[in-house]
Amino acid sequence: MYTEELLNVIPLKKIIGQLPNRIKDISIDSRSVQPKSMFICIKGDTVDGHHFAQKAVDAGATVVVAERELPIEGEVAQVIVKNTNRALGLLAAKFFDYPSNDITMIGVTGTNGKTSVSGIIHHMLVGMGEKSALSGTIGFELNGVLYETANTTNDVLSTQQMIFRAKMEGCRAMVMEVSSHGLALGRLAGVDYDIAVFTNLTHDHLDFHGTMEEYGHAKGLLFSQLGQDFTKNKHVVLNADDPWSEKYEQMTSYPVWTYGLKNDAIFRAENCNYEDGITTFDMITPEGKFPVTTHLLGEFNVYNLLAATAVFYARGFSMEAIIEQIEDLAPVRGRMERVKTDLPLQIFIDYAHTPDAIEKAIKAALPYKKPENKLIFLVGTGGNRDKSKRPAMAEKASIADYVVLTTDDPRYEEYDSITSDLAKGMQHENYACIGDRAEAVRHAVSVAEPGDIIIFAGKGHEDYQIIGNTKYPHSDAEIAIEAGRLKFV
């Protein structure tokens, strides 16, 4: 791309040195700079990208965008701007030629259910023959291939790059999980969403946002950033049972589609029944009542399916086509996913790591428990992250008959510090604190009797544990099956 054409999108700048005619790439990481590229220095939490400008130039960068003039050597032009992060959003969108304008962009935000709802929408789109890409906690899925990503909502450059790749591969739609960090830190700058979906807002991430008000405000940016261009067919999908939806409705002028189980909503569910690994309910829609059967377990998944239904209905799909897809859906990876095993136990892998999700996960399993059996719930939480939610997590976990308190990614925090914070919220004495997660999983199996249910929560789809800053392989399911074989077979 012509360098001057690209730089036209940042209005106030000082240029030092001779700009190259063209640049071939943009990068924010000196470790992946290509020759003849533009390096943008970003001040991070851990390090300041300005310190890597020389490395970027040595690797072939011919333009450096920085917040101050840097003492760098080599054939390079410096572009000085007030805020490189803001400039990055403008430059990345221009460099990739605003790819989100050419594709239906669906953004899903909320404390719990982002991965589930976006996965459901993506798989329904694929089932309907619409080529779709997906990005979120599990990674970036394009053409059935899953690429690892750093974040739920990635940095602004990777985000534009992913949308561009989806567009170039002929995708008609892209479904994205939109985290509150992503919104607050401007990682979605320049992404033009067509549909914005809200699942719910409950306690999480207060280490970053400070208060629920700030957290709720960050999520609301998805709705206010939809803009005002009424030539575009945009829609908002809100959970009528969550009080934050009223605020989000005020933040947009686009049509609002509501869903829920308790309050008045456009899409509702009645007569929910949970039996034998099957959920059935009547879906009430603007076109009448439709009986639904699904393999997705629990009331929370009824909410998730209603949200997905509203998205498709808003885009003009028939209710028959929507229901057909719902009935074909496989459970979302690591979200109340039943482990196939010949052990005399029902084992579920789940990703609950907030108080609300813990309550929802346990309640999803209760219909499958016989009165004579136990529900054992193992839950861990991350180290060096929001500590204020820990007692509330254990309080909700207390709904289970027996609880194992452990860690998920302890990072640099001591095991005992994590489990003792959790234990403060326990409402009964039937629990154990075991910081080593593998040992905790074995303990959960050791206290199980035939017919019991065990939910392993907090790791979901993840096949690793982060201890210190190292990722170690870890699978709750594999450890549980091995321990179960020793005990029961």
Ligand X SMILES: CC(=O)N[C@H]1[C@@H](OP(=O)(O)OP(=O)(O)OC[C@H]2O[C@@H](n3ccc(=O)[nH]c3=O)[C@H](O)[C@@H]2O)O[C@H](CO)[C@@H](O)[C@@H]1O[C@H](C)C(=O)N[C@@H](C)C(=O)N[C@H](CCC(=O)O)C(=O)O
Q: Which residues bind ligand ATP (CB under 6 A)?
A: 110, 112-116, 137, 152, 177, 199-200, 300, 303-304, 335, 350-352, 356-357, 360-361, 460
Return the one option of ligand ATP, ligand X, none that residue 361 interacts with (CB less than 5 to 8 A, by type): ligand ATP
Which positions from 428 through 487 interact with ligand X, judged by CB under 6 A?
none
Secondary structure element (H or E) that encloses residue 303, with its range? helix 299-314
Return the one option of ligand X, ligand ATP, none that residue 31 interacts with (CB less than 5 to 8 A, by type): ligand X
Secondary structure element (H or E) that encloses residue 183, with its range? helix 180-184
Beta strands in 262-320 (DSSP E): 267-275, 278-285, 288-294
- Site stretch for ligand X (CB under 6 A), options 89-97, 177-185, 282-290, 372-380: 177-185
Show the binding pattern over residues 194-233: x = contacts ligand X (CB under 6 A), - = does not.
Answer: ----------------------------------------
User: Is 277 marked as binding a ligand?
Assistant: no
* Contact with ligand X (CB under 6 A) among 152, 252, 279, 285: 152
Return the one option of ligand X, ligand ATP, none that residue 155 interacts with (CB less than 5 to 8 A, by type): ligand X
Q: Is residue 46 part of the contact set for ligand X (CB under 6 A)? A: yes
| The token pair that represents 185 in the structure block | 């830190």
C-alpha–C-alpha distance, residues 65 and 162, integer Å = 22
What's the min distance (Å) between Cβ of 158 and ligand X?
7
Are 420 and 433 a contacting pair, CB within 8 Å? Answer: yes
Using CA atoms, how far residue 279 sits from 49, 263, 303, 316, 334, in Å, is: 50, 21, 12, 26, 18
| 80 phi/psi in degrees, rounded to 5 | -100, 125
Secondary structure element (H or E) that encloses residue 147, with its range? strand 145-147
Strand partners, 346: 453
Q: How many residues bind ligand X (CB under 6 A)?
A: 19
- Site stretch for ligand X (CB under 6 A), options 144-152, 250-258, 413-421, 452-460: 144-152
The DSSP symbol for 31 reads G
C-alpha–C-alpha distance, residues 164 and 103, integer Å = 9
C-alpha–C-alpha distance, residues 106 and 390, integer Å = 32
Q: Is residue 181 part of the contact set for ligand X (CB under 6 A)? A: yes
User: Is 369 marked as binding a ligand?
Assistant: no
On the CB side of 228, CA atoms within 13 Å amount to 2
C-alpha–C-alpha distance, residues 219 and 113, integer Å = 14
Neighbours of 221 (CB within 10 A): 19
**Alpha helix segments (H runs only) across 59-132:** 84-95, 114-127
What's the min distance (Å) between Cβ of 62 and ligand ATP?
38
Q: Is residue 42 part of the contact set for ligand X (CB under 6 A)? A: yes
- Site stretch for ligand X (CB under 6 A), options 44-52, 189-197, 273-281, 335-343: 44-52
- By beta carbon distance, the residue nearest ligand X is 44
Q: Is residue 29 part of the contact set for ligand X (CB under 6 A)? A: yes
Q: Is residue 387 part of the contact set for ligand X (CB under 6 A)? A: no
User: Is 309 marked as binding a ligand?
Assistant: no
Positions touching ligand X (CB under 6 A) are: 28-31, 42, 44-47, 49, 52, 150-153, 155, 179, 181-182
Known binding site: residues? Answer: 30, 110-116, 151-153, 179, 187
